[in-house]
A and B are shown apart, each in its own frame.
Chain A
Amino acid sequence: MSGVVDRQRALREYVLRLGDLSLVLGQRLGEWIGHGPAIEEDLGIANTSLDLIGQARFLLTYAGELEGRGRDEDAIAFLREERDYRNPTLAEQPNGDFGQTIVRQVLIDAFQFELYAGLEDSGDERLAAIAAKALKETRYHLRFSGGWLVRLGDGTLESHARVQHALDLLWPYTVELFAEDEVDRAMAEAGIAPRLAAVQAAWSARIDQLLAEATLQRPKEQSYSWFGKRGQHSEHFGHLLSEMQYMQRTYPGASW
Chain B
Amino acid sequence: MRKACAGAASGRESSAWAALAQVEDPEIPALSLVDLGVIRFVRTQPGGVIEVGLSPTYSGCPATAVIRRSVAEALTREGLDPFTVTDVLAPAWTSDWISTEGRRKLAEYGIAPPSAPVASTQQLLQGDRPAACPRCGSTDSERVSEFGSTPCKALYRCRSCLEPYEYFKCI
Contact = CB atoms under 8 A, between A and B. Distances in A.
Interface of A: 40, 43-44, 46-55, 57-58, 117, 125-126, 128-130, 132-137, 139-140, 142-144, 147
A136 B92 contact: yes
A143 B89 contact: no
Q: Please list the 3 inter-chain residue pairs (A to B) with the smallest Cβ-Cβ separation, ordered nearest first.
A: A54-B60, A54-B59, A129-B90
Given A40-B155, A54-B61, A139-B125, A129 B92 contact: yes
Interface residues of B, number: 26
A128 B94 CA distance: 16
Given A47-B151, A143-B127, A53 B146 contact: no
A221 B171 CA distance: 36
B60 A55 contact: yes
Name B's interface SS: loop
Interface of B: 56, 58-62, 89-94, 121, 124-125, 127, 144-149, 151, 155, 169, 171
A44 B147 contact: yes
Contact of A140 (B92, B94, B146): B146
Given A140-B169, A143-B125, A132 B146 contact: no
Given A58-B89, A129-B92, A135-B121, A50 B146 contact: no
Nearest to A146: B125
A13 B56 CA distance: 26
B90 A128 contact: yes
B121 to A, nearest CB: 6
A68 B56 CA distance: 25
Contacts of A133: 56, 59, 89, 92-93
B58 A137 contact: yes
Nearest to B94: A136
Contacts of B121: 117, 135-136, 139
B125 A55 contact: no
A136 B171 CA distance: 6
Contacts of B146: 40, 44, 140, 143-144, 147
A142 B125 contact: yes
B26 to A, nearest CB: 15
A130 B151 contact: no
B90 A132 contact: yes
Contacts of A134: 59
Contact of A58 (B59, B147, B171): B59
A147 B93 CA distance: 26
Contacts of A136: 92, 94, 121, 171
Given A54-B59, A133-B59, A40 B125 contact: no
Contacts of B155: 40
Nearest to A147: B146
Chain B CB within 10 A, most for which of A46, A47, A132: A47
Contacts of B58: 50-51, 54, 137
Contact of B89 (A40, A49, A130): A130
B69 to A, nearest CB: 13
Contacts of B56: 54, 133
Given A49-B60, A54-B61, A144-B146, 5 more contacts: A40-B144, A129-B89, A129-B90, A137-B59, A142-B125
Contacts of A125: 90
Nearest to A145: B146
26 contacts: A40-B144, A40-B145, A40-B147, A43-B145, A44-B147, A50-B151, A51-B60, A52-B60, A54-B61, A58-B89, A126-B89, A128-B90, A129-B89, A129-B92, A132-B91, A133-B92, A134-B59, A136-B171, A137-B171, A139-B124, A139-B125, A140-B146, A140-B147, A142-B125, A143-B127, A143-B146
B64 to A, nearest CB: 8
A57 to B, nearest CB: 7
Contacts of A46: 147
Contacts of B91: 129, 132
